[in-house]
C-alpha cells in the first residue's frame, strides 16, 4: 500500500468512526436538542455526495467509508427529526 492510500484509509477510518459515539449516545438517550439540524442535514448531504463521488471513480475505500458514515449520520438525522 502506498503512502497516499494509507493516509486516505486512516482518514476514512477516523472520520467514519467519529460518528459512532454520537449514534450510540443518541440511540441510548433519545436526546437530540443539542444537535443542530442544519449541521446534520449538511453533513448527511456531504457524505452522500462523497459516496456518489467514490462510486463514480470506483474507489472502494471511499465508497465503504461513506456508506457506513451515511448510515450513522442518517440515524442521527432521523432521531433528530423524531425526538428533536
CA 65 to chain centre: 8
35: left (phi over 0), alpha (psi -120 to 50) or beta: beta
What is the pTM assigned to this prediction?
0.89
List, in order of start, the domains of the chain with CATH numbers.
3-83 (1.20.1280.290)
Q: Is 7 helix (H, G, I), strand (E, B) or coil?
A: helix
Predicted local distance difference test score (pLDDT) of residue 76 = 96
Quick: pLDDT tens for 16-42. Answer: 999 999 999 999 999 999 999 999 999
Quick: pLDDT tens for 36-73. Answer: 999 999 999 999 999 999 999 999 889 999 999 999 99
Predicted local distance difference test score (pLDDT) of residue 68 = 96
Predicted local distance difference test score (pLDDT) of residue 3 = 95
Predicted local distance difference test score (pLDDT) of residue 84 = 79
Amino acid at each position: 500500500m502506498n503512502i497516499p492510500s494509507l493516509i486516505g484509509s486512516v482518514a476514512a477510518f477516523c472520520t467514519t468512526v467519529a460518528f459512532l459515539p454520537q449514534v450510540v449516545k443518541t440511540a441510548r438517550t433519545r436526546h437530540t436538542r443539542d444537535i443542530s439540524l442544519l449541521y446534520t442535514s449538511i453533513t448527511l448531504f456531504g457524505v452522500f455526495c462523497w459516496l456518489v463521488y467514490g462510486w463514480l471513480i470506483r474507489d472502494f475505500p471511499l465508497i465503504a467509508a461513506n456508506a457506513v458514515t451515511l448510515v450513522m449520520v442518517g440515524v442521527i438525522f432521523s432521531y433528530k427529526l423524531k425526538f428533536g
